[in-house]
Amino acid sequence: MRATGAIATRSGTALLATLMAIGWPLAAKAEPSRVVALGGSVTEIIYALGEEERLIARDTTSVYPEAATDLPDVGYMRALSAEGVLSVEPNLILAEEGAGPPEVVDILENARIPFVTIPDDYSPDGILAKIDAVGAALDVMEKAQDLRTEVAADLSSANSQAESLANGGEKRVLFILSLQDGRVMASGTNTAAHGIIEMAGAENAVTSFTGYKLLTDEALAAAAPDAILMMDRTGDHAATNEDLFAIPALSLTPAAEAEAVIRMNGLYLLGFGPRTAEAVRDLSVALYGG
């Protein structure tokens, strides 16, 4: 199917080529000076590298630093518009994993715009690998090396600080993505939330599945979290402590007894970018006290 798509795409292009019988000069391999960043962490890394001058557009999740929000927004990174991305005339697209839909990525590749996918792994090494990949794509390896060293040191100090705070007594943390009609959408393993909880010297209370899923009441009670971690949101997804503990299964947990609910900015907490070390520190302090 992918092959058919490519053939069909080419046939569309061939149509005009035949019509005009004119060849086009191949796009010159220019220095990537017009970059579209898809994914909050990619944008943050570009800013941390001091290469924000080259950034011309971003996706909806790229909201840090503040200045990034002034850039044109090409939409949600999994539902991109081919023409929308092309309209900002990029010569490099840097995307976190999962950008799409695939048909749009096909068209962008066909437009001979380098499309670089930055691997996502929710671990300290994953952050460093992201920095390497962004540095390589922007051709600023030296700066990337400096940032990498700095971030690596920061991460390991944050981690050891968290370990010492925990002091062997790892708390069980339940990450709640959202509440839907009194049901809890929680994080399992293989998520950013799971990664940051581990890095902050704690234990994810739910490990029976991967990704974010709705929990049953019984699974919620069995998770028995010592603390609840959430993103601080406004509007529809905002949930107050009363909302949380109105859920019977949640009200019986140790977290409810201690009213231990931690709210942190979503991108800061789950972005897995240059600020993650700071987020790990904040989280471990919130969990175990300074």
Partner 1 sequence: MAADAAATLPLPKTRDRQTFARWMHLWLLLLLIATSLLSLGYGAADASLFGALAALMNGEAISHIEQVILLDVRLPRLLLGITVGAALAISGVLMQGLFRNPLADPGIVGVSAGASLGAIMAIVLGPLLPAGLLALTGNALIALSAFAGAWIAMLILYRVSTRQGRTSVATMLLAGIALAALTGAASGLLIYLADDQQLRDFTFWSLGSLGGTSWAKVWITAPIVFGAILLAIRLAHGLNCLALGEAAARHLGIRTEQLKSGAVLLTAAATGSAVAVSGGIGFIGIVVPHLLRLGTGPDHRPLLINAALLGATLLVGADIISRTIVAPAELPIGIVTAILGAPVFLWILLRRRGLVDL
Applying CB under 8 A, which residues contact partner 1? 1-5, 8-9, 11-13, 15-16, 19-20, 22, 24-25, 27, 57, 60, 72-76, 78-89, 98, 101-104, 106-107, 110-113, 177, 185, 210-214
Q: How far is the CB of 93 from partner 1 (least distance, A)?
A: 12
Q: How far is the CB of 217 from partner 1 (least distance, A)?
A: 14
Tokens for 173, please give them. Answer: 């943390």
Q: How far is CA 50 from CA 45, 120, 144, 233, 257, in A?
A: 9, 21, 10, 29, 46
Q: How far apart are CA 209 and CA 202, in angstroms?
A: 18
Q: How far is the CB of 178 from partner 1 (least distance, A)?
A: 8
- 249 contacts: CB under 8 Å, gap ≥ 6: 217, 218, 220, 221
* Residue number, 31 or 257, with CB nearest to partner 1: 31
* Residue number, 99 or 151, with CB nearest to partner 1: 99
Q: How far is the CB of 102 from partner 1 (least distance, A)?
A: 4
Tokens for 170, please give them. Answer: 């790892």
Q: How far is the CB of 153 from partner 1 (least distance, A)?
A: 32
Q: How far is the CB of 249 from partner 1 (least distance, A)?
A: 16
Q: What's phi and psi for 2, nearest 5 deg?
A: -60, -40
Longest dimension (CA), the chain: 76
In the block, residue with structure tokens 């053939």: 7
The count of other CB atoms within 10 Å of the CB of residue 104 is 19
* Residue number, 35 or 151, with CB nearest to partner 1: 35
* Residue number, 48 or 192, with CB nearest to partner 1: 192
* Residue number, 85 or 250, with CB nearest to partner 1: 85
Q: What's phi and psi for 89, nearest 5 deg?
A: 50, 60
Q: How far apart are CA 96 and CA 272, in angstroms?
A: 11
Q: Which of 143, 115, 113, 129 is nearest to 52 (CA)?
A: 143
Could you give the dihedral angle defined by the CA atoms of residues 59, 42, 137 and 85, in that order, rounded to the nearest 10 degrees?
Answer: 0
* Residue number, 24 or 156, with CB nearest to partner 1: 24
Q: How far is the CB of 127 from partner 1 (least distance, A)?
A: 20
* Residue number, 183 or 263, with CB nearest to partner 1: 183
